Chain A
Amino acid sequence: MSLIYEARWVFLEGILTTIKITIAASLLAFAMAFLAGLGRLSPFAPLRWLALVYIEVFRGVALLVQLFWMFFVLPFFGIVLDPIVTAVLALGLCNGAYGAEIVRGAIKSVPHGQSEAACALNYSRQQALWKILIPQAIPMMLPPFGNLAIELLKATALVSLITVHDLSFQALTLQQTTMRTIEPFTVVLAGYFLIAIVITGLFRLAERQTNARLGRGAR
C-alpha cells in the first residue's frame, strides 16, 4: 500500500488527464453527433452525403488506427498535433460518428403526428425541427449518450499508446519502475470505475431534469 501512497501524485495526474480527455472528447463527440445526425436528416443532398461519409469512415476504422494515423502519419503531411489534442480529436470524431446515429434515430422516433401538427400550424421545417422535434428527442438521446460517454471513457486507455500520460499510462510506467503489478492495476481499475459511476450519475440527473421540464414529472 505504501507504494500506492508514494505514487499518489502520479496517479492523480493520470486520473486528471483521463478526465480532461473524456470531457473534451465527449463534448466534441456530442457536437459532431448533432452536426452529422442533423446532416443525415437534411433536405439538402450534399449535406446528407457529407454526414454519411463522415459517419461511415469514423465508424468503420478502428479507433487505434485512427489514433496512430493522426499521431504518426499526419506529421508526414506537415501536421504535427499535440498528443492530447490528437487523443481528443480521434476519440471525439470516432464517438461522434456513433452518436450521429443516436441523434438521427431519436429525432426520427418522435411521432410523425408532431411534424404534421407543426406543418398544419405553418411552422417552417427548421422551426419544427428546433422547437418541436429536437426538444422531444433529447430525453430519448440521453441514455444512449450516457452509454457512449462510458464507452469513450474506456477507450481513453488507448491514448497511452501515443504517449499521453493518462491513468493507464501511469499504471504501466509504475509497473515497469516498481516491478509490481497488482497494486497499480487495481488502482487503475478503481479509478475508471469511479469515473464511470460519476458519468452515469450525471446522465441520470440530466434525464430527470429534462423529463421534469417536459412536464412528465407530474405524471
Chain B
Amino acid sequence: MSPIIKLTNVCKSFGSLVVLDGLDMEVAQGEKVALIGPSGSGKSTVLRTIMTLETISGGEIEIDGEALWHMRRNGKLVAADEAHLRKMRSKVGMVFQQFNLFPHWSVLKNVVNPLRTVLGLSAQDARARAEELLALVGLKDKLNAYPGNLSGGQQQRVAIARALAMRPRIMLFDEVTSALDPELVGEVLNVLRLLAHEHDLTMIMVTHQMGFAREIADRVLFFEKGRIVEAGKPDKVFTNPDSDRTRAFLNAVLQG
C-alpha cells in the first residue's frame, strides 16, 4: 500500500542552521508513529512542515500521493498556491505543546466555530459533532467554560477534540503533554490511547513519554540532527537498539 505521508530528501534550514538534512520518511495509512530524540533534533520541524507551518528548503512531501508544496498546472510542476495548500491541510490536524486554544471563545465555540467557518457545517450539525467529541475527551460538562478557566490537561483535551472534529486523516501531536503538570499527563495520554484504537487514523507523535510510545506506537523513529538514526518496532528500539546513539539517548532519558 502506498504511504499516506512520504518525505523525500526533505531539507530545511533556518538561515545557516540546517535542521532537516535530506530526510526520507514514510508513514503508512493508519500507522501510529512515535518520534523521539534529543531536543533540537528537528522533530517539531518535521511536524510543522507537514502541517505547512514551515516551508521546506528542498525535497518534497507527499500526502496521500499528492505533492504538498507543489502542484501540477498545465502539466508542469509549480509552487503550491493557497488553494492547493488549503486542500492539503484539510487532511491534516495538529495538536500543540501549548494547546493554542482560542481564549476569546468558550470550549464549545472552540470546537464549533472551525466547523462552521472552515467546513461550513450548520449550527446544529456543528454543535452535535462538537458535543460528541467533547464527550469523547471527557469534557461534556465544560462546554461553556472559557479556556482560561481550565487546567492544562483540560485545555489540551479540548485542543484534541477541536482538531479531531475537522476529521483529518492524519493527526500530528507535538509534545502534547510536555507543558502539563505531572498529575495531568495521564488524562491526556488516555485520550491518545483511545485514538490509537482508531484503525484508519494516522498518528505521528513527538513525545518524551517513552513508556507511552512503547505502548501505543507501531513504529518508533529516533531522530538526531535532522536525520532518522534508527527506526523500528518499539520493543526492538527500546530494548535492543542497533545504534549506539539511540542507546545513549535512551539511557540518558530513562535515567533522567
Measured CB to CB, the residues of A under 8 A from B are 111, 113-114, 116-117, 119-125, 127, 131-132, 135-136, 213-216, 218-219
Query: B residues within 8 A CB of A213?
Result: 104
Kindly identify, within residues 201 to 242 of chain B, every residue whose CB is under 8 Å from any CB belonging to chain A: none
The dominant DSSP class at the A interface is helix
Complex contact A136–B89 (CB within 8 A): no
> B52 near A: Cβ within 8 Å?
yes
User: A164–B100 Cα gap in the complex (Å)?
Assistant: 52
Write out the residue numbers on chain A whose beta carbons fall within 8 Å of the beta carbon of B82. Answer: 124-125
B137 within 8 A of A: no
Judging by beta carbons under 8 Å apart, are A116 and B148 in contact? no
Closest residue of chain B to A138 (Cβ to Cβ) is B104
* Docked CA distance A120–B101 (Å): 12
Most buried by B among A125, A132, A136: A132
What is the 8 Å Cβ interface bit string for chain B, positions 87-116, against chain A (1 contact, 0 not)? 001101110101011111110000001100
Q: List 18 A-B contacts (CB under 8 A).
A: A114-B102, A117-B102, A117-B159, A119-B52, A119-B53, A120-B53, A120-B89, A120-B93, A120-B163, A121-B93, A121-B118, A121-B163, A121-B166, A122-B86, A122-B90, A123-B117, A136-B104, A219-B148
Return the contact of B94 from the options A120, A125, A131, A215 (Cβ within 8 A).
Answer: A120
**What 3 pairs between A and B have smallest CB-CB spacing?**
A215-B146, A117-B100, A113-B100
Min CB–CB distance B98 → chain A (angstroms): 5
Known: A120-B89, A131-B117, A216-B146. 18 other contacts (CB 8 A): A111-B100, A114-B100, A116-B53, A119-B51, A119-B53, A120-B51, A120-B163, A121-B114, A121-B118, A122-B89, A122-B166, A123-B118, A127-B117, A131-B113, A132-B102, A214-B103, A214-B104, A215-B148
**A107 smallest CB distance to B (angstroms):** 14
Taking CB atoms, residues of chain B closer than 8 Å to A111 are: 100
Considering the complex, which residues of chain B in the window 123-176 have a beta carbon less than 8 Å from any beta carbon of chain A? 146-149, 159, 162-163, 166
Residue of B nearest to A121 (CB): B114
> Distance (Å) between the CB of B202 and the closest chain A CB?
15
| A218 close to B146 (CB less than 8 A) | yes
Complex: how many Å from CA A214 to CA B100? Answer: 15
Query: Residue B106 contacts which of A114, A123, A127, A215 (CB distance < 8 angstroms)?
Result: A215
